[in-house]
Amino acid sequence: MDKSTLIGTVTGVVLLGFSIMTGTGAGAFFNVPSLVIVLGGTIAATLIHFPLPDIMAMIKVTKKVISSEPVSAKQYIDKMVDISKKARTNGLLSIEEELNNIDQEFLKVSLQHVVNGTEPEDLNNIMEAELSLMTERHKIGQKIFTAMGNYAPAFGMIGTLIGLIKMLQNLDDPAAIGPGMAMAMVTTFYGALFANLFFIPMGGKLKQRSEEELQFKEMILMGVASVQAEESPRVIQNKLLAFLKPQERENGENAEQ
Amino acid sequence: MDKSTLIGTVTGVVLLGFSIMTGTGAGAFFNVPSLVIVLGGTIAATLIHFPLPDIMAMIKVTKKVISSEPVSAKQYIDKMVDISKKARTNGLLSIEEELNNIDQEFLKVSLQHVVNGTEPEDLNNIMEAELSLMTERHKIGQKIFTAMGNYAPAFGMIGTLIGLIKMLQNLDDPAAIGPGMAMAMVTTFYGALFANLFFIPMGGKLKQRSEEELQFKEMILMGVASVQAEESPRVIQNKLLAFLKPQERENGENAEQ
Amino acid sequence: MDKSTLIGTVTGVVLLGFSIMTGTGAGAFFNVPSLVIVLGGTIAATLIHFPLPDIMAMIKVTKKVISSEPVSAKQYIDKMVDISKKARTNGLLSIEEELNNIDQEFLKVSLQHVVNGTEPEDLNNIMEAELSLMTERHKIGQKIFTAMGNYAPAFGMIGTLIGLIKMLQNLDDPAAIGPGMAMAMVTTFYGALFANLFFIPMGGKLKQRSEEELQFKEMILMGVASVQAEESPRVIQNKLLAFLKPQERENGENAEQ
Amino acid sequence: MDKSTLIGTVTGVVLLGFSIMTGTGAGAFFNVPSLVIVLGGTIAATLIHFPLPDIMAMIKVTKKVISSEPVSAKQYIDKMVDISKKARTNGLLSIEEELNNIDQEFLKVSLQHVVNGTEPEDLNNIMEAELSLMTERHKIGQKIFTAMGNYAPAFGMIGTLIGLIKMLQNLDDPAAIGPGMAMAMVTTFYGALFANLFFIPMGGKLKQRSEEELQFKEMILMGVASVQAEESPRVIQNKLLAFLKPQERENGENAEQ
Amino acid sequence: MDKSTLIGTVTGVVLLGFSIMTGTGAGAFFNVPSLVIVLGGTIAATLIHFPLPDIMAMIKVTKKVISSEPVSAKQYIDKMVDISKKARTNGLLSIEEELNNIDQEFLKVSLQHVVNGTEPEDLNNIMEAELSLMTERHKIGQKIFTAMGNYAPAFGMIGTLIGLIKMLQNLDDPAAIGPGMAMAMVTTFYGALFANLFFIPMGGKLKQRSEEELQFKEMILMGVASVQAEESPRVIQNKLLAFLKPQERENGENAEQ
C-alpha cells in the first residue's frame, strides 16, 4: 500500500480522535444524520456532475493508486539493457522467450509489438495513444476528487443551516440551545474534515502518481524504441538513467515512494 | 433520461427532505419570499449577464443533455464498417440507399456529402465547423450554469441580510428573534442548495457530456473519411475502436452512461 | 436598448423592492452614508487602479452596449451578396455609389478601401488592427467592471466594520443595539447588491457583446475580401451564412438579442 | 503626479474620514497596536516571500509610476517624423546633432545606436532585451502588491483573533466587552482598508502603466527602425499613429492620463 | 543565510510576541493541543497529498534556499571571460587546469564537458535536461508549501469547530464560556499564522529563488557555449552582462540578495 497515504491517514485520524476524546462531550461528534447529509449530499452532487462510468472509473483508479507498490524504475532499466544485449546478439525475435518473465504489462505489450515486427512509428503511435487514454482516465479521477472537495464543505454548511434554522424556532428552552448549536456545527466539521483529510489530498495524490506513472511509461517506451533500433546497451542505459532522480541512479532498487 | 443525473437528484432531494422533516420546525423551510429572492435574483443577474438568445440556447441544450439516452458508440462503429464493406464492393454511390436507415443526424449528413461527391478536404472543413459551432453552444451553457452557481449564494446572502436588517429593528419582542433569524437564514440555505445541488453540478454534467459528444462525432468523422478513402473495413474498425474505453471495446452495446 | 439587460434590471429591482417593502423596517434600507461609503469607496479604488482615460472609455463602451439594437447579421450578408453581384458585372469601382446607402461604419470603411484599390493584404492588416484595438478597448471595460465587482463587497464590509466598531463602544443603551447593527449591515447589503446585480453581470454582458461584435465584424471582413476577390455571389453567401446560428440562417431579420 | 491615483486616494480618504468622524467613537479607529500588527505583519510576510532587491526595485518603480507625468505619444511621433526628414536629406549621421534635444532616454539610446551604425537586427535585439527587462521589473512590482493585498486582510484577521482571545478571557466586566470587541475589529478594518484602498489598486495601476509604457516604447522602436530604413516620413507617421487611440490621433498633445 | 527571510521572520515573530504579551491573557496563546491539531493535521493531509520522496526533497530544497548565500553573478562572468581568454590563446584543453579553482558545480561540470570534447549540441542538451530536472524539483517544493498554506487554516477551523462543539455542550457554567471560546479560537489563530507567516511566504521565496537560480545557470550555460565556440572575450562579456540588472552591472561583487 502507498506508504505516505497510510501514514498520513493514520496520523490524521489518531490526532483528531485524541482531540475529540479528551475532555467531555465526545458523543456529539458521532452524529449519523450529519454524516448522511454531508456524505449523501456530496455523493448526490457528484452523481449529477459526472457521468456514472467516470465515477466508476475513478473508484477503480483510486483503489489502484492506494494499493500500488512503489515501482523500481531502476530494475526495469536493467531489464531493458539485458534485453537489448540479447537482441543485438540473437536478433529481435529472440526477445520473444523473455516475454514470459516480464510482469510489467506495458513493457510486455510494447516488446510483443517489436517481436511482431510493428513499424517503429506505428509502435510509438499505438503506445502513446494508450498513454494519453490512461492520462485522461486519471485526470477525470482528479477532477471528481476536486469537485467532492468543494461539495463536502458546501453540504456541511447546508446541514448546519438546517440545524440552526430548526434550533432557532425553539429558543424557549435555553438549556437546549448549546447542544442544538453543537449538533448543527458537527455537520460543518464533517464537511471540512472529509474535504481536507480525504477528498482534496487524495485528488492531489492521484495527480502526483499519474505524473510518475506517465514518466515511467514514457521511459519504457523510449527504452523499447532503442531496443528496436538496436542501439548499444551502454547508450540505452545512459538515456534511461536520465529519467531518474540523482539519488535513484545509484541504487534504484531501494527507492521507496 | 440521463441515469446519474436522475439518481443524484433523487438521492439529494430525499436526503435533504428527510433531514428537514425529522424533528420540529419543518415549516420554516418552505418560504415563498425567500425562494423568490434567491431564484428571482439569480435569474435577474443572469439576464443582465448574458444575451437572451444565449440563455434560450442553454435551456435547449440542458433539456437535450438531461433527456438523452447514452449513445452506443460500438453500434455506430459496426454500422460504418458495414457501410465501408458495401462501398468497397458496389462503389460509394451505393451508400445512398443506406441513408434512410441511419437515425444519427451527424453520420447521415456526413455520408450524404460522400454520396454527393464532396471533396474529402471540404467535407472535413464543413463538418469540423459544425462541431466547433456545437462546442461553442455547449460552452455558453456551462458558462451560464457556472455564473448561476455564483449568483445563487450571493442572492441567498442578500436575502439573509434583508431579513436580518428587518429583524434587528424590532428586537423588542425576544420571542420573535429566533423565528426571525430562522427565516433570514432560509434564504442562505436556498442559495447554497440551488448552487450545490443544481447549478454547479449541471454545469459540470454539461461539460462532460459535451466532451463525450465531441469525441463521438470526431470518431464518426474519422470513420466517414475512411469510408470515403475506401480503406479496408478491418483497418477502419481498428482505428475507430481506439476511441472506446477498454471495457467498451468488448461489448459496447451494453455500455451505459 | 439591450432587452435582456432591461428585463434583468427591472426584475431584480422590483423583486428586491418588494422584499424590502413588505413588513416593517423598510426605512433602514435607505441610508445615504452607507451608500456613500460603498459607491464612493468603490469609485476611489477604481480610480487608483485604472488610468482616467481607461475609465472614461469604459463608460462610453457601456453606454453603447446598453443602448445598442441587436444587429441583423443576415441583412448585411444579403447586402454584401448584392454588392458582389454588382461588382462582378460593373467592376469594383461601381461599389462606390453603394457606399452612401450603408450605415454600418465598419463595412463602409472596408468597401471604401476596396474602391480605393488598397491591396487585399493591406486591407486585411488595416482592418484587423482596427478590430484588435476595439477588442482591447472592450477588454479594459470588462476588467474595470470585474474590479468594481470585487471592490464593492469589500467596501461594504469596511462600512459594516465602521458601523459595528462605533456601535460596540456604546452598548449602554440596549435599545440602540438592534438599529445600530441593522445600519451597519446595510452597507454589506449595498456592496453585495451592487456587485451581483450590476458590476459583475455588466462585465459579463460586455464580454458577450464584445465577442458577438468581433464575430460580426470578422464576417464582414471575410465578405469584403470575397467581394474584392470577385468570388461568385453564391459562394460568398454560403461562406457568410456559416457564421450564423442554425435558427438565424432561415430568417435572420427577426433574430433578436 | 498621476492624476487618477491622486483623485482616488483623496476621495477614498476623505469619504472614510467623514464616515469615521461623524457620530461618536472616532477615537477607536486610531489604534497604534492594530496598525503595527497589520502593517508589520504584512511587511514581515512580504520580506519572507520576496528577495530584498526585488522589494527595493518595487519601491522605486512605484515612486516612478505615481510621480510620472502622462506621456504625449503624439509629440514623439512628430519628433521622429522630423528626424526621418532630416535623415533622408542629410544622411543618418546628421541625426547626431538632434540627440541633445531629446529628453526621452529610450529614444535617445536607440537613435545613438543608429548613428553608431548598429545593424538593424542587432538594434532590435538589444532594445527588445531592454524592454523585456523593464517588463520583468514591473511584473515583480505587481506580484509584490498582489501578495501584500492578500497578506493585509490575513494579518487583520490574525490581529482580531488576538484581540478576541484576550477579551474572551476577561468577560467579568460586561462594560469592557463592547470596547474590547471594537478594538479587536479595528485590526480587520485596517487590513481590509489597506488591501482595498492601497495594495490591490496600486498593483493594478502598476500593471496598466506598465502596459502603456511597453506600448509607447514599442512604438518608438518601430519609429527608429523606420528612420534607419529611411522610409518616407509620411509612411512613418501613418504607421506610428496606428498606435494611438482614435481621439489621441487628432490632438495628442492634450491627451491626459 | 537568506537575509530577507531572516529579517521577515524576526520582525513577524517579535511583533506578534509583543502584541500577545501586552495586557493580560498571554497564557491562552500557548496551547499544545491546538498546535498539535493544526500542525499535525496539516502534515497528515500533506502526507496523503504528496508522495514521501517529494516531501523529503522539499525539505532539502528549503534548507538550501534558506541557508544559501547570495551569488555574485558578476564574479562568474569575470571568471568565464578569463577562461575564454586563456582558451583562445592556449586551446580549449588548457581549461582543464582551471577546473580545480572553480567551486560552482554547474560551471565546473559544463567546462569539464568542453574539455572532454562533448559536441556543443550534446552539451546543451545534457545541461538543459539537468536544469529542467532542478526546476521540476523546486516546483514540487512550491506546490507542497502552497498546499500546506491551504491546509493550515482549514485545520485551524476544524480545531475551532471541535473546541466550540465541546464548549456548547457545557453551557451551564457561564464563567467557562469565555475561556472555552478563547481556547477554540487559538486554533484558528495558529492556522492563519502558520499559513501567512510561514507556508505561503516560503512557497513564494522558493519560487523567486528558483527563477533566479535558473537564470543564473542559463547565463553560465551561454557563457560556456561561447567559450567553446571561441568567441571573443569582449563579446562574451557583453552577452553575459545583459543578464544582470542595471545596478549590478557596475559593481556586481557587492550585489546582495
For residue B252, pLDDT over 60 is answered with: no
Give the C-alpha distances (Å, rounded to integers) separating E159 from B29, B140, C130, D144.
30, 41, 58, 32
Q: What's the pLDDT tens digit per position in C155-169?
A: 999 999 999 998 888
- Residues E7 and E14: their CA atoms lie apart, in Å, by 11
Q: Do chains A and C touch (3 or more CB pairs under 8 A)?
A: no
Q: How many CA atoms lie within 13 A of A208 on its CB side?
A: 29
pLDDT recorded at residue D147: 96
pTM strictly above 0.90: no
Average pLDDT over every residue of C221-244:
85
Share of chain A above pLDDT 90, in %: 28
Residue A189: which pLDDT band, with cuts at 50, 70 and 90?
Answer: very high
Distance from the Cα of D231 to chain C's closest Cα (Å) equals: 17
Query: Mean pLDDT score of chain C, rounded to an integer?
Result: 86
* Torsion of the alpha carbons at D178, D180, D183 and D187, rounded to the nearest 10: -110
Q: Which of B48, B154, B164 sits opposite C192 (nearest CB)?
A: B154
CA distance to B47, B146, B166, per residue, from B200 (Å): 18, 6, 31
Residue of C nearest to B164 (CA): C182
Residue B94, pLDDT > 70, answer yes
> What is the number of CB-based contacts under 8 A between chain B and chain C?
134
At residue C235, does pLDDT exceed 50? yes
User: How far is it, in rounded angstroms, from Cα D189 to Cα C52?
Assistant: 28
Q: What is the mean pLDDT of residues E213-238?
A: 87
Residue C148 has pLDDT above 90, yes or no: yes
Chains D and B share 3 or more Cβ pairs within 8 Å: no
Instruction: Report chain E's mean pLDDT, rounded to a whole number.
Output: 86
Residue (of D135, D8, D146, D14) closest to C54 by Cα position: D8
- Residue pair C34/D18 in contact by the 8 Å Cβ criterion: no
What is the least distance, in Å, from the CA of B93 to any CA of chain A? 32
Q: What is the 3-state secondary structure (H, E, C) of chain B?
A: CCHHHHHHHHHHHHHHHHHHHCCCCHHHHCCHHHHHHHHHHHHHHHHHHCCHHHHHHHHHHHHHHHHCCCCCHHHHHHHHHHHHHHHHHHCHHHHHHHHHHCCCHHHHHHHHHHHHCCCHHHHHHHHHHHHHHHHHHHHHHHHHHHHHHHHHHHHHHHHHHHHHHHHHCCCCCHHHHHHHHHHHHHHHHHHHHHHHHHHHHHHHHHHHHHHHHHHHHHHHHHHHHHHHCCCCHHHHHHHHHCCCCHHHHHCHHHCCC
Closest CA relative to residue D218, chosen from D99, D124, D103: D124
What is the Cα–Cα distance from B14 to A37, expressed in whole angstroms? Answer: 10
pLDDT higher at C149 or C76: C149
Minimal CA separation from B9 to chain A, in Å: 6
Q: Do D169 and E192 touch (CB under 8 A)?
A: no
Confidence of residue A1 (pLDDT cuts 50, 70, 90): low
Rg for chain B (alpha carbons), in Å?
A: 26
CB proximity under 8 Å: C 18-57 to B: 18-20, 22-25, 28-29
Q: List C residues 88-127 in contact with D (Cβ-Cβ < 8 A).
A: none
Q: Which tens digits make up the pLDDT trace of A127-160?
A: 888 888 788 878 889 999 999 999 999 999 999 9
Please give the C-alpha separations between residue D212 and each of B18, D72, D133, D254, E133, in angstroms, as whole numbers: 59, 12, 15, 17, 37
Name the pLDDT band for C230 (thresholds 50, 70, 90): confident
Supply the pLDDT for residue B35: 92
Specify whether the CB–CB gap between B41 and B32 falls below 8 A: no
According to the model, what pLDDT value does residue D250 have? Answer: 61
Residues of C in contact with D7 (CB under 8 A): 47, 52
Confidence (pLDDT) at B257: 37
The reply to whether residue A158 touches residue B193, judged by beta carbons under 8 angstroms, is yes
Cβ count within 10 A of residue C118: 17
CA distances from C235 to B126, C67, D49, D226 (A): 14, 35, 60, 41
CA distance D173 to E24: 14
| Cβ atoms of C111 and C251 closer than 8 Å | no
- pLDDT confidence of residue C151: 97
Q: Name the residue in chain C with its Cα closest to that of D200.
A: C49
Q: How confident is the model over E29-59, as pLDDT tens digits?
A: 888 889 999 999 999 999 999 988 889 888 9
The confidence score (pLDDT) of residue C185 equals: 93
Summarize pLDDT for E165-182 with one digit per residue, the tens: 988 887 777 777 887 888
Q: What is the pLDDT of residue D235?
A: 82
Instruction: Check CB contact of C201 with chain B, cutoff 8 Å.
Output: yes
**DSSP, residue by residue, D110-166:** HHHHHHHT--HHHHHHHHHHHHHHHHHHHHHHHHHHHHHHHHHHHHHHHHHHHHHHH
CA distance D93 to chain C (A): 32
* Averaged pLDDT, C90-95: 85
Query: Between the CA of residue A143 and those of A40, A104, B195, what are the distances in Å?
Result: 19, 28, 18
Please give the pLDDT value at position E109. 87
Find the closest chain D residue to C170 by CA distance. D178
Are B165 and C25 a contacting pair, CB within 8 Å? Answer: yes
Q: What is the distance between the terminal CA atoms of chain D, rounded to a whole angstrom?
A: 10
pLDDT for E252:
40
Distance from CA of E180 to the nearest CA of D (A): 8
Instruction: Give me the pLDDT at residue C257, please.
Output: 37
CA dist B106 to B131, C100, D134, D174, Å? 10, 44, 53, 75
B129·C242 Cβ contact <8 A: yes
Q: Pick out chain D residues at pLDDT < 70.
A: 1, 70, 246-247, 249-257
Per cent of chain C over pLDDT 90 is 28
Give the model's pLDDT for residue E250: 61
Task: Return the partners of chain A (3 or more C-beta pairs < 8 Å).
Answer: B, E
Residues of D in contact with E25 (CB under 8 A): 165-166, 169-170
How far is E199 from B86, CA to CA, in rounded Å?
67
Quick one: pLDDT at residue E144? Answer: 95
Percent of chain E with pLDDT over 70: 95
Res. B119 pLDDT band, cuts 50 70 90: confident
| Phi-psi sector, E68: left (phi>0), alpha (psi -120 to 50), beta | beta
* Chain D residues close to C164, C-beta within 8 Å: 182, 185
Residue B250 pLDDT more than 70?
no
Which residues of chain C neighbour D20 with C-beta distances below 8 Å? 162
Task: Reply yes or no on whether the pLDDT at E257 is more than 70.
Answer: no
Size of interface A-B (CB pairs under 8 A): 134
Q: How many residues does chain B have?
A: 257
Q: Could A4 and E55 be called an inter-chain contact, meaning their C-beta atoms sit closer than 8 Å? A: yes
Q: What pLDDT score was predicted for residue A8? A: 92
Residue A157 forms contact with B (CB below 8 Å): yes
Read off the pLDDT of residues E187-208 as tens digits, 9 standing for 90 and up. Answer: 999 999 999 999 999 999 999 8
Angle (CA) A215 A217 A222, round 5° = 95
Spell out the alpha helix ranges (H) of A22-119.
32-49, 52-67, 73-90, 105-116
Decide if D41 and E3 are in contact by the 8 Å CB cutoff: no
In this prediction, residue E254 carries a pLDDT of 40
Instruction: Provide the pLDDT for residue D245.
Output: 73
The pLDDT of residue D256 is 38
Q: Which chains touch E (3 or more CB pairs under 8 A)?
A: A, D
Residues of D with Cβ-Cβ distance to E5 under 8 angstroms: 47-48
Residue B45: the pLDDT is 96
The pLDDT score that the predictor gives to residue B96 is 86
Q: What are phi and psi of C233, to 5 degrees?
A: -50, -40
pLDDT tens for residues B231-242? 888 888 888 887
Query: In sequence order, what are the residues at sequence separation of 6 or more whose Cβ sits closer than 8 angstroms to the Cβ of residue C149?
Result: C195, C196, C199, C200, C203
Residue C168 contacts D, CB cutoff 8 Å:
yes
Cβ burial, residue E69 (10 Å; 0-12/13-18/19+) = exposed
Query: Quick check: D48 and E192 CB within 8 A?
Result: no
Least-confidence region, from A25-34, A247-256, B6-15, C181-190 = A247-256
Say yes or no to pLDDT of C253 above 50. no
- Residues of chain B with C-beta less than 8 angstroms from the C-beta of C257: 51-53
Q: Distance (Å, rounded) from C-alpha C197 to C-alpha C19?
A: 15
pLDDT at C1: 62
The stretch B74-83 carries a mean pLDDT of 89
Query: What is the pLDDT at residue B2?
Result: 77
CB contact under 8 A, D169 and E202: no
Which of chain C's residues have a Cβ under 8 Å away from the Cβ of D213? Answer: none
Q: Is B162 on the interface with C (CB under 8 A)?
A: yes
Q: What is the distance in angstroms between the Cα of B211 and the nearest Cα belonging to chain A?
A: 11
